[in-house]
Structure 1
Amino acid sequence: MGRRCVGREAGQWNEGPLMRFTKSWGAAAAIVTVSGAAQAALFDRGGGMIYDTTHDITWLADMNYARTSGHIGDGVNTDGAMTWDAADSWADHLVYGGFDDWRLPTLIPSAEDKTCSRTFLWAGDHCSGGELSGLFVTDLGNKVNESVLNQTGDTAEQIANLALFSNVQSYAYWSGTKAMDGIMWYFATNGGIQSNYYQYVTFYALAVRPGDVAAVPEPPTLVLALLGLGATVMWRRRRPVPAA
């Protein structure tokens, strides 16, 4: 027997619950796929935290939170800059947003970072392979010989990304990456390069933690949820009606 034709015109076939659900699921999956493809690198999770999808880490939105929070201690200046030891201790003991696993971000030594366009002795140009350099160079548009606050020539996305952060300092930020005994890598936001220097000098500190702070389902999880919902709807439709 052929398929039953309904409706006013030939070719308009009767679609059962399974077919209708399949179409709905396909549309939902397409939306998930498109939205995932359009995602940017940084997301504001609220509460002063920014999720970085490239490195799967969460940044503290206040780039001078040590000063904002009134942090004091040995090696800490009144403007928030601090020695590397003080910066490392501050990040390690920081509790923010209910999380206590904050740390200093990483950098890849210039000689090892394949994204660097030029390396010389102790520094590198256009490096973006590390967490800290990736944030400033790729996401915020920090160019060589320019301040990160100079947005001339930045993309619309980079301009929007910078607006996610507060108290951005045009000087230098410590990383948690060691160069050699007593010397640590840092990123110079007043010139767009990474370098290393003695850890007793005072630079600013930016805290980061692993993972995402928001419970946002990944696309595959969302698709499974949609499948489960569709199955429930179909089961309810097929369930026999009890006799009166």
Structure 2
Amino acid sequence: MKRILFLLMAALAVCVLATPAHATLINRGTDTLGNRLIYDDDLDITWYDYTHSAGNWTSQVAWADTLSVDFGGDIFNDWRLPTTVDGPYVFGYDGTTTVGYNITTSEMGHLFYTELGNDGDYDTSGNSQAGGLTKTGVFQHLNSYVYWSGTENLADTNTDLAWYFSFRHGSQYPNYKTGNYYGLAVRSGDVAAAPVPEPATIVLLGIGLAGMGVYGARRRRHR
């Protein structure tokens, strides 16, 4: 019986260590300009909480490519515009198409719907509803604008198109690169050290290790 108890406690400790934290947006702090760096631990990307003034696609790509952020003395200059899964023009509402609403395969769509919990102007059945950027979470400078994606629409024959996402409507479309939309920068990976375990994880781990310690002490006393 005691051996079974010991094994159960050991298993509890292992499970706690192996359990990942829930996907969330984490404010890592601000850069020297006062803009937040926000980590998405679901996609393993870091958002730069700043909206660049409207411009065509080429100018927004250039802005992100040359962006240099001083974060606690560490310089990050590997920024880019958010990506979109390219494909032929197929419109829909259920989130399985390339164009339309409720699409979460793009990084901005994932942010709008999955991470922030917003609704688009239409539900997955195509019914009109009150939508838009009503929840911004830890973001301070995310607006109800149309933002360029860094992904060109190469799946179609017209190479002058690139993707965008509308935080006003919760929709994504391709459009001509000459359109004037806003810029939002993101980079792959985190900007912080190893993540701190969640409080609940620490408590459960402590209980498991304490139980193992008590059991070990009792065994030594009875030898």
Q: Shorter-chain-normalised TM-score: which range?
A: 0.5 to 0.7
C-alpha contact (below 8 Å) 1:82/1:204 kept by paired residues: yes
Distance in structure 2 (CA, Å) of the matches to 1:203 and 1:128: 20
After superposition, the Cα gap between the structure-2 partners of 1:212 and 1:106, relative to the gap in structure 1 and judged at 3 Å, is: same
Aligned Cα root-mean-square deviation (Å): 3.5
After superposition, the Cα gap between the structure-2 partners of 1:133 and 1:216, relative to the gap in structure 1 and judged at 3 Å, is: same
Is 1:213 paired with 2:213?
no
Distance in structure 1 (CA, Å) of the matches to 2:113 and 2:9: 41
Name 1:55's counterpart in structure 2.
Answer: 43
Deviation at 1:197, TM superposition (A): 1.0
Is 1:128 paired with 2:111?
no
Structure 1 segment 37-52 matched on structure 2, within 5 A: 37=21, 39-47=22-30, 48-52=36-40
Distance in structure 1 (CA, Å) of the matches to 2:79 and 2:89: 25
Is 1:32 paired with 2:17?
yes
How many positions carry a matched residue from both structures?
177
Name 1:235's counterpart in structure 2.
Answer: none
Residue among 127, 140, 148 paired with 2:132: 148
Distance in structure 2 (CA, Å) of the matches to 1:108 and 1:208: 16
Deviation at 1:24, TM superposition (A): 7.6
After superposition, the Cα gap between the structure-2 partners of 1:110 and 1:187, relative to the gap in structure 1 and judged at 3 Å, is: farther
After superposition, the Cα gap between the structure-2 partners of 1:27 and 1:118, relative to the gap in structure 1 and judged at 3 Å, is: closer
| Unmatched runs of 5 consecutive residues or more in structure 2 | 31-35, 123-129, 198-204, 210-223
**Matched AA of 1:54:** D
Name 1:239's counterpart in structure 2.
Answer: none
Distance in structure 2 (CA, Å) of the matches to 1:112 and 1:182: 14
Distance in structure 2 (CA, Å) of the matches to 1:215 and 1:166: 23
Distance in structure 2 (CA, Å) of the matches to 1:112 and 1:54: 27
Instruction: Classify the secondary structure of the residue corresponding to 1:204.
Output: strand
Is 1:109 paired with 2:92?
no
**Matched AA of 2:61:** D
C-alpha contact (below 8 Å) 1:142/1:189 kept by paired residues: no
Q: Which has the higher strand share?
A: 2
Structure 1 segment 12-31 matched on structure 2, within 5 A: 28-31=13-16
Name 2:152's counterpart in structure 1.
Answer: 178
C-alpha contact (below 8 Å) 1:81/1:202 kept by paired residues: yes
Q: Which has the larger radius of gyration?
A: 1
Residues 106-133 of structure 1: CA deviation (Å, up to 9, x unaligned): 11236589x962789x832211111121
| Unmatched runs of 5 consecutive residues or more in structure 1 | 1-10, 67-79, 151-158, 220-225, 231-244
**Matched AA of 2:80:** R
Residue among 49, 58, 61 paired with 1:85: 58
Residues 77-116 of structure 1: CA deviation (Å, up to 9, x unaligned): xxx1111111101000001132110000111236589x96
Distance in structure 2 (CA, Å) of the matches to 1:135 and 1:116: 17
C-alpha contact (below 8 Å) 1:147/1:189 kept by paired residues: no
After superposition, the Cα gap between the structure-2 partners of 1:44 and 1:118, relative to the gap in structure 1 and judged at 3 Å, is: closer
Instruction: Classify the secondary structure of the residue corresponding to 2:62.
Output: helix
Name 1:6's counterpart in structure 2.
Answer: none
**Matched AA of 2:17:** V
